[in-house]
Amino acid sequence: MEIISTREFRANQTAVLTKVKNGDSIILKSRVGSFKILPVTEEDTLTERICKGLREAKMIVDGKIEGISLEEALHEL
């Protein structure tokens, strides 16, 4: 694990992001806190999450999985 400052990150963004992409752990320390830099995975993308939700909704409509009420869904949030 490597800990770097925001100044160092700004000066070496490409090198730091390449390290993260290659599996290295990087912690970014700033005045507002510390943050772990992680690559975005396919599953993390908004489009994938929307598609997954639509697939699940279709499975509910088709009777393949059981749905939940709106009240239950809101309670889960």
CATH code, domain with 30: 3.40.1620
30 and 7 part of one domain: yes
Mean pLDDT for 23-42 is 91
Interacting residues of 1 by C-beta distance below 8 A, sequence separation 6+ = 24, 25, 26, 27
CB distance 28 to 9 below 8 Å: yes
pLDDT for res 71? 86
pLDDT for res 18? 96
- The whole domain housing 69 covers 42-76
Residue that is written with structure tokens 């949030």 in the block = 77
Which pair of structure tokens corresponds to residue 35? 């943050």
pLDDT for res 36? 95
Q: In what order do the strands lie in the sheet with 26-30?
A: 2-5, 26-30, 33-37
**Nearest Cα to 1, choosing from 33, 32, 24?**
24
Mean pLDDT for 14-28 is 95
pLDDT in tens, 32-41: 999 999 988 7
30 and 55 part of one domain: no
